[in-house]
Amino acid sequence: MFPAVASLQAGRQPERLAAVLDSRKKRIDACQQASKCLFLAATWTDEEMDAVANAVAAVPASPGKRSPIADDGVKAQVARELRGLNAVLQIYGFGNEARYPMIDGPFEKPGSEAFKALVADAIWLADAGKNDPGISLDPSISLAIALIDANERPDAVLFEPLDKGLNAAPYARARSIDWKRYRYTAIIVPGVGPENPAIAMSARGKLHLKLAASRFADGTAAFIIVSGAAVHPKESRFVEAVEMRKVLIERFHVPADRIVIEPYARHTTTNLRNVTRQLVAMGAPIEQPTLIVANVSQSRYIESPEFAARNPAELGYQPGTVGPRISPYELEFRPSLRSLRVDPWDPLDP
């Protein structure tokens, strides 16, 4: 959730940041675990974010390890992470409304006695974990993680490490793929969640898979990437990507080592963003196009001005270039490396 901030090690900061962290700790400790005071004290100011950004900029890059800094620079990445942390405190601590309240937000009703009790338990949980490696830089980090944990929302790490789990076989296959043999690196299949928690997959989701399996059979793409989390409805325990993978294997006999799952996306915007992340992890050539397969209404939406405007409003960028259209169900998509930016504004899928 906070890769740039986590690159700083507790106790090894430059003088200015050390002074800021010390001031924050005194401010937080003075609250003596009182929730309202605690969440206000833990909130990061712009000046404090600047101090963290300056310190992160001074950290030498680790050899052989991908930089936690996004393409738009240190300051932008640190601000994203700490504003996302602030949002966790506001939504899960104070009970402020989430951006998508129908699928996000605290488990208990904000303001209720159950909500207050859950918040109190999260505060104790954070205190117990304040010295855990990786989150000991500032008390706000353990507090944000504890709030997510107390609400039983481990969504962001539910399938990690993906490359050693359900994606192990396709990742291994990708290492020997001659990408030039294929028109598309992958067929992207976005989820369409049912609104009934007892149903694993909607009829439109099944349509997507039938279309994708047919396209894959003609050899036009090296892989199928199925994308979708447990989103619709909010109580659903069916992860769309996992359910889609099962259908592709059992009903359409697509080889398991040709199916990549992306089990975190909660919106159409992040379907495309997260698929790009999978393509990078596989070593696929990003300059080569992919093919989005979706029902007619979703396909039209993806190429619409409304969707084009939604991406920068929610992600801060376009995750890639949509088009041209190939059929009523199919659109080409060229991914952008901007999709590698980590953004914990949605802590369930940063």
pLDDT digits (tens, 9 = 90+) for 80-121: 999 999 999 999 999 999 988 888 899 999 999 999 999 999
Comparing C-alpha atoms, which of 189, 219, 169, 196 is closest to residue 292? 189
Mean pLDDT score, 23-29: 96
pLDDT tens track for 247-282: 999 999 999 999 999 999 999 999 999 999 999 999
3-class DSSP assignment, residue 11: coil
User: Which residue ranges make up each domain of the chain?
Assistant: 3-153, 161-340
Q: What is the 8-class DSSP label of residue 56?
A: H
pLDDT tens track for 296-322: 999 999 999 999 999 999 999 999 999
161-340 CATH, one of 3.40.50.720, 3.40.50.1100, 3.40.50.620, 2.40.50.140: 3.40.50.620
pTM score, two decimals? 0.93
